[in-house]
Structure formats: C-alpha cells, structure tokens
Amino acid sequence: MFDTGRIEFFDKVGTPFWFYDMDILRETVGQVVAMSEKYGVKAHYAVKANVERRILEYISSCGLGADCVSGNEVARALECGFSPEDIVFAGVGKTDREIYDALKAGIGMFNCESLQEIFIINAMASRLGLRARVSVRINPDIDAHTHAYITTGTCENKFGISPHEFDALVDLLGKCANVDFMGLHFHIGSQITDVEPVYSLECERAGQIVSWFESRGLEVKNINLGGGLGVDYDDPDGCPVPDFRNWFRIISEKLVRRPGQQVHVEPGRSIVAQCASLISRVLFVKVGETRNFLILDAGMNDLIRPALYGAYHKIENLSACLRPNLPQSQVYDVVGPVCESSDVWGSGRLLPLSVRGDLMAIRSAGAYGQVMSSRYNLKDFAPAVYSDDMHGARLRTEYF
C-alpha cells in the first residue's frame, strides 16, 4: 500500500491523519457489485462503518443501497446520493423524530426491532397519511463465533424479536393498516470469519423462520441476511479485498429462495476496513525497566477499537522502509498519548528500530475508525487525506 512516493508525501502532512486508498475502495466495491449482479443479491452498505462523504458518494454512485441506524445517517445517505427507496433504517431505538423524518423521506424500509416500534411506526404513518414498509428483525439465536461485543444474534441480545413474541407479532401486523409487511431481517454479528458454517446456519435458520411466517399467511417478499463478513487484520496487503465471491456463493447455495423473493446483505466493515490507515508519528521512545515504549501522536480518541474491543491492528514503521540499511528490530509496546492505560496500539510488537519522528501506519482502520473518533482529552479530530488528491491540482490544502 505504501510506496516511496506515498511515504515522502506523508512526510509533508501533519499527523495524525486518515489515509484513504481509493484504489482499494474501488476494487472492493467493484467486487461487491459484480457478485451482487451474479447472484441477484442486493447489497446495502452499512453506513455506520464509515460516514465520510467521499466514501459514501462513491459507494452510492456504484448502485449500492444504504443501511442506516440513525436519522442522521439516513440524512447523510440522502445527501450523498442514495435514493430514498434504496435506504433501509435499522436500529433498536429509533426516536419519534427519526421515524417521522424517514417516513416523510419515503425510505425503502424500516427494519423493526420490537413490537412497540411497529405500533408507533404504524400510528405515525397513519397520522401522516402514508404507508410504511416494514421488515422485522428476528433474533435467530446464532452464535457468530466473533467478539462478544459484536455478536448480535444470540438469544441474550437486545436486538431483534425472539420466537416467544412471534404470535403477538403476527396479530399486531394484522392490525397495522398503514404498515406493509415486507419481510424478515437477520443480523448475527460482525467480523465473521467462519464464513461457511456460520452463514450456512443463518440461511438454514432463516429458511425455517420464513416458512413459519408463511404458514401464518404472511408473504415474505424480502430476506435480509445481515452478519458482517470479516476482514484480514493480520495481512491487509495480502488480503486487501475480502472474499465476497465465497460469501455470496454460500448465501445463494444455502438459502432456499422463493420465486421473486428479494435477498439483501448489509456489509460495512468488509467494504471500507482495508482502504484506510491511520498515519501517525512517534513522539517519544521511552525505555522502561522491562519494556520499550513507542509513544505515538494518534490515540484511542482517533481509533478506539483496540481500547474498546482489544482489537488487533497491524502497525508498520513507514520511515524505516526508507532507511538505506535494513534496520535492526526491537520489541515495543506501541501506545497513544491519551491519559488512559487502555490507550495501547499493541503490546510486544516486533518493529524496526524506531526513532522520534518516524511515520507509523495503523492498518485496516477504515471501518469503525474515523466514525468513532472523539475529542477526548480535547484532542483535535484527525483529518482525512485521499489517495486521489495526492497529485497535482486536486490536493486539498485545507486538510493540512
């Protein structure tokens, strides 16, 4: 990802900043579009993963839909070129204002997570003289074999409607005159790497639940098979584009699909994770009693995933690549500047001998990175720099 030209360019930019490699984004979205067309499965990009306008505008221009989880995400998606009918609105706690705005905008579908939410959407649609297209998120009780904080489909979760409420749900839908029941939504978690067993099980469980609803007289026009495909955080250069081919193939082989039934997926991380790195500098090298610390100018305020989930991100010393002789290696604890012990990029990382001022890249940072940044410790937000702007007149100097 980083040739000499890019590293020399980074040297002129104030750190920390997010570097977006738009070629990787284009390649990734291209794969999704190709597989979507091949298997007849519509992909809605999960906006929560990254809300940068440039990224959204590109993704919408390729024909993907948007999967949103707040009113502001719906508004951002509309501003960035997604058409209303290509927007689905999920989330366990939609406010009245968010529901009202989404109804007025004419979004494609609400993915509802509780009976009370369906009741409220129906009441509001009725008051506005509109119809609401509603899909129901079902809790399929599947363990996605991923991190506890990003597992969403087990029975202990706050998400979705569980089987003990199915009868009441069917009754309610029968009474909601302003709701058009569209189908079922499943979501079991994020960063799923056991693709074959987990998605096979989800497809099988979805098939059984679809049959149950059909037996109660409801037509399931749409099945949304959520559950985010994982990315390779260990080897972003070896695996810059996730294996969408395999994912779409498994879904199309394992899901029993009725004629005319639409199938949706809602990838977020797998679309944007690998296209960005957080570029930082070594502020200080601190030699402890038993450990050596590299203190960077980027911290958990920029990218919270390591502090929040203990997530692994590959760290590279970019400046060391430009040194004439292959530098010695050293084991470091790489940390950020924030006053929290959890502000650690990685402990015991083997890196080239590093010095103050070295440029460091924290890789695979495009998903749940910039979007989760905060101003904790009153740090500034790190700006975004796009590979497309590196050369010539399009360089946007306000970033620096």
Ligand X SMILES: Cc1ncc(COP(=O)(O)O)c(C=O)c1O
Residue 151 or 178: the one with the smaller Cβ distance to ligand X is 151
| CB 223 to ligand X: min, Å | 14
DSSP classification of residue 49: G
Residue 65 or 306: the one with the smaller Cβ distance to ligand X is 65
Residue 279 or 367: the one with the smaller Cβ distance to ligand X is 367
| CB 55 to ligand X: min, Å | 13
Residue 281 or 363: the one with the smaller Cβ distance to ligand X is 363
Residue 242 or 306: the one with the smaller Cβ distance to ligand X is 242
CA angle 351, 355, 359 (to 5 degrees): 75
| CB 59 to ligand X: min, Å | 13
| CB 80 to ligand X: min, Å | 17
| CB 271 to ligand X: min, Å | 8
| CB 186 to ligand X: min, Å | 10
| CB 379 to ligand X: min, Å | 25
What would the two tokens of residue 397 be? 């100097």
With beta carbons less than 8 A apart as the criterion, state whether 41 and 229 touch: no
Residue 125 or 188: the one with the smaller Cβ distance to ligand X is 188
Residue 52 or 266: the one with the smaller Cβ distance to ligand X is 266
Angle at which helix 71-79 crosses helix 96-105, to 10 degrees, equals 30
Residue nearest to ligand X (CB): 228
CB atoms within 10 A of CB 390: 16
How far is 254 from 145, CA to CA, in rounded Å? Answer: 19
The residue whose two tokens read 């005159």 is: 177
Ordered alpha helix ranges (H), 151-298? 166-175, 195-215, 244-254, 269-272
**What is the maximum span of the chain, computed from C-alpha positions, in angstroms?**
75
Residue 10 or 199: the one with the smaller Cβ distance to ligand X is 199
Which strand (E) or helix (H) includes residue 122? helix 115-128
Whether residue 16 has a cis bond before it, omega within 30° of 0 = yes
| CB 255 to ligand X: min, Å | 18
Phi, psi of 71 (to 5 degrees): -60, -40
Residue 67 or 232: the one with the smaller Cβ distance to ligand X is 67
Binding-site ranges for ligand X (CB under 6 A): 46, 49, 67, 90, 152, 187, 190-191, 226, 228, 266-270, 367
DSSP classification of residue 325: S
| CB 192 to ligand X: min, Å | 7
Phi, psi of 142 (to 5 degrees): -120, 135
Residue 50 or 280: the one with the smaller Cβ distance to ligand X is 50
Q: What 3-state DSSP class applies to 331?
A: strand
- Strands 179-186 and 17-20, by their bridges, are unpaired
| CB 46 to ligand X: min, Å | 3
Q: Which long-range contacts (CB under 8 A, 24 or more apart) does 81-90 make?
A: 81/56, 81/57, 82/56, 84/108, 86/44, 87/44, 88/44, 88/135, 88/224, 88/264, 88/266, 90/137, 90/185, 90/187, 90/266
How far is 193 from 388, CA to CA, in rounded Å? Answer: 31
